[in-house]
Chains A and B, each alone.
Chain A
Amino acid sequence: MLVAGIDVGGKNVHIVLMKDGTMLEKGAAPTGIKKAEAVEQLYDKVLRQAGLKREDVEHVVATGSSGRRVTFAQGVIPEAAADARAVVRLIPSARTIIDVGAEEGRAIKINSEGRVLDFAINEKCAAGTGTFVDTMARALEITVEEMAKASLQSTQSIPMNAQCAVFGESEVVSLIHAKTPKHDIARAVHDAIAGRIGSVARIVGLEKDVVMIGGVAKNTGFVESLKRELATDVLIPDEPDFVGALGAAVAAETGVIEEKVETRVVERQDYEESSN
Chain B
Amino acid sequence: MAEEVREFWRWPESHWANPDIDWKQGKIITSGVDVGSVSTQAVIMVDGELYAFSSTRTGSDSPDSALKGLSIALEGTSMTADNIDYCIGTGYGRVNVPMAQQTITEIACHARGANFVYGSAVRTVMDMGGQDCKAIRCDERGKVIKFMMNDKCAAGTGRGMEVFADLIGVPVWEIGPRSFQVEKEPPMISSTCVVFAKSEVVGLLEEGEPENDIIAAYCAAMAHRIVELLNRLGVEKEFAITGGIAKNEGVVKRLEKEIDVKTMEKVWHNPEYNSRNYPFDTQIIGALGAALFAMALLERGRVKSARKA
Binding site for B on A (CB under 8 A): 10, 33-34, 103, 124-126, 131-132, 135, 163-167, 170, 174, 177, 268, 271-276
Q: Is B206 an interface residue (CB 8 A)?
A: yes
Q: Is B194 an interface residue (CB 8 A)?
A: yes
Chain B residues with CB under 8 Å of A167's CB are: 131, 152, 154, 159
- Per the bound structure, the CA–CA distance linking A33 and B159 in Å amounts to 25
Chain B residues with CB under 8 Å of A275's CB are: 146-149
Q: Does A103 lie within 8 Å of B60, measured CB to CB?
A: no
Q: Does A273 lie within 8 Å of B148, measured CB to CB?
A: yes
Q: Does A274 lie within 8 Å of B160, measured CB to CB?
A: no
Q: Contact partner of A268 among B192, B206, B207, CB < 8 A?
A: B192
Q: Is B76 an interface residue (CB 8 A)?
A: no
Min C-beta distance of B111 to chain A, whole Å = 14
21 contacts between A and B (CB under 8 A): A33-B206, A34-B206, A124-B191, A124-B193, A125-B192, A126-B194, A126-B196, A132-B195, A135-B195, A163-B153, A164-B152, A164-B153, A164-B194, A166-B160, A177-B60, A271-B152, A271-B153, A272-B150, A273-B229, A275-B148, A276-B105
Min C-beta distance of A245 to chain B, whole Å = 22
Across the A-B interface, how many residue pairs have beta carbons closer than 8 Å?
A: 69
Chain A contact residues: helix, strand, loop or mixed:
loop
Interface size on B, residues (CB 8 A): 29
- Per the bound structure, the CA–CA distance linking A274 and B148 in Å amounts to 7
Chain A residues with CB under 8 Å of B196's CB are: 103, 124, 126, 131
Binding site for A on B (CB under 8 A): 37, 60, 105, 131, 146-154, 159-160, 163, 191-196, 199, 202-203, 206-207, 229, 232
Q: Does B149 lie within 8 Å of A125, measured CB to CB?
A: no
Q: Does A268 lie within 8 Å of B153, measured CB to CB?
A: yes
Chain A residues with CB under 8 Å of B194's CB are: 126, 164-166
Chain B residues with CB under 8 Å of A274's CB are: 149, 151-152
- Per the bound structure, the CA–CA distance linking A272 and B132 in Å amounts to 11
Chain A residues with CB under 8 Å of B203's CB are: 33
Min C-beta distance of B93 to chain A, whole Å = 12
Chain B residues with CB under 8 Å of A170's CB are: 37, 159
- Per the bound structure, the CA–CA distance linking A33 and B149 in Å amounts to 35
Min C-beta distance of B205 to chain A, whole Å = 9
Q: Considering the complex, give the chain A residue whose CB is closest to the CB of B228.
A: A272
Chain B residues with CB under 8 Å of A271's CB are: 152-153
Chain A residues with CB under 8 Å of B192's CB are: 124-125, 268
Chain A residues with CB under 8 Å of B229's CB are: 272-273
Chain A residues with CB under 8 Å of B152's CB are: 163-164, 167, 271-272, 274
- Per the bound structure, the CA–CA distance linking A177 and B245 in Å amounts to 28
Q: Considering the complex, give the chain B residue whose CB is closest to the CB of A272.
A: B150
Q: Does B195 lie within 8 Å of A131, measured CB to CB?
A: yes
Q: Does A164 lie within 8 Å of B206, measured CB to CB?
A: no
